[in-house]
């Protein structure tokens, strides 16, 4: 039997919640925040830059949706775009090891 970390189980749970959120009408801001939290969870669970790359599409998706639905100057949009830039910096070896601030 494979033993999963609590964090890995949380990522799997978030994936299911995100799938359900996108199918229902729970609100745009909530769905955006779930996308972003899921991306942070994938990113922080990664052990190599290649694994970290898997989170980038989710960061992009959250930032693009926030820009489209909330506007360019909205706090969520700015936060998501900054997190995307931070994640790319980490992958390129120019940033922090983990993304710590996950509160949108």
Question: What is the pTM for the complete model shown?
Answer: 0.68
Residues 41-99 pLDDT 10s = 888 888 788 888 888 998 898 899 889 888 999 988 898 898 888 888 888 876 555 56
Annotate 6-73 with DSSP letters as a single string. Answer: HHHHHHHHHHHHHHHHHHTTS-HHHHHHHHHHHHHHHHHH-SSHHHHGGGHHHHHHHHHHHHHHH-TT
């Amino acid at each position: 039997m494979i033993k999963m970390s609590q964090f890995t189980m949380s990522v799997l749970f978030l994936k299911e919640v995100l799938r359900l959120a996108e199918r229902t009408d729970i609100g745009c801001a909530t769905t955006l925040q779930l996308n972003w939290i899921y991306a942070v969870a994938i990113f922080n669970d990664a052990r190599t830059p290649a694994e970290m790359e898997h989170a980038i599409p989710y960061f992009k998706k959250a930032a693009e949706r926030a820009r489209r639905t909330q506007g360019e100057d909205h706090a969520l949009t700015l936060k998501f775009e900054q997190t995307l830039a931070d994640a790319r910096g980490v992958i390129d070896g120019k940033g922090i090891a983990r993304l710590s601030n996950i509160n949108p």
